[in-house]
Amino acid sequence: MSDPKLVLASASPRRRELLARLGIEPTEIAAADIDETPADGERPKAYAIRMARGKAQAAARGDAFVLAGDTVVSMGRRILPKAEDVETAQACLQALSGRRHLVLSSVALRWPDGTLRHKLNETVVRFKPLTPQEMADYIESGDWESKAGGYAIQGAAEGLIQWIRGSHSGVMGLPLFETRSLLRTAGFALG
């Protein structure tokens, strides 16, 4: 029996690579374009879940499952922005320097019949105290571009992280344990 059709509602090459680790190749890539502005007073967990579910709904198809994810970097109730410019990346690195923070990685799976399920992974990450030169070097690398909280753990930032407690793949953008669980429930054959 062949796997059902799967649409990945993300243009992220990282999410596609992570999905391949589970032996899954999406039938189609259909990046969901939704408003990603947090609602007034919205807490980070609720925001991460809303974004993943919203992306899955936005890419909905009647003949396929749709998988979507969202990653949020938070410090307390504060959601750190996706770094789109150098100033934002610098502000994020200064906030993260020498402190721990929470990475919330939500994954949602929409069934062809409209059923929508999600799972949330929480990972605690601690950066070392960063020197001005380390911050400048990281900014120069460009690894921060379009990344939640201004960093990508799979790049040079990994050498600046003292420890993580949780899911490395979740920090990368798709928590594989939770994703595997959703896909198995939907009948996908996984190794």
Strands 116-127 and 161-165: antiparallel
Query: Pick the catalytic residue: 35, 40, 63, 70?
Result: 70
Note the pTM of the prediction, 2 decimals.
0.93
Give the confidence band of 61 by pLDDT, cuts at 50, 70, 90: confident
pLDDT tens digits, 67-96 = 999 999 999 999 999 999 999 999 999 999
* Mean pLDDT within 150-162: 95
Q: Is residue 102 scored above 50 in pLDDT?
A: yes
Q: Which domains does the chain have, with CATH numbers?
A: 6-185 (3.90.950.10)
d(CA 171, CA 115): 26
* Closest listed residue to residue 174, CA positions, set 5, 12, 3, 7: 12
Strands 28-29 and 116-127: unpaired
Q: Is residue 1 scored above 60 in pLDDT?
A: no
* Token digits of residue 20: 């391949």
pLDDT at residue 42, as a whole number: 96
pLDDT tens digits, 14-40 = 999 999 999 999 999 999 989 999 999
pLDDT at residue 191, as a whole number: 65
Q: Is residue 120 scored above 70 in pLDDT?
A: yes
Q: Is residue 154 scored above 60 in pLDDT?
A: yes
- To the query of whether residue 143 is one of the catalytic residues in this protein, the response is no
* pLDDT > 70: percent of the chain: 98
pLDDT at residue 2, as a whole number: 61
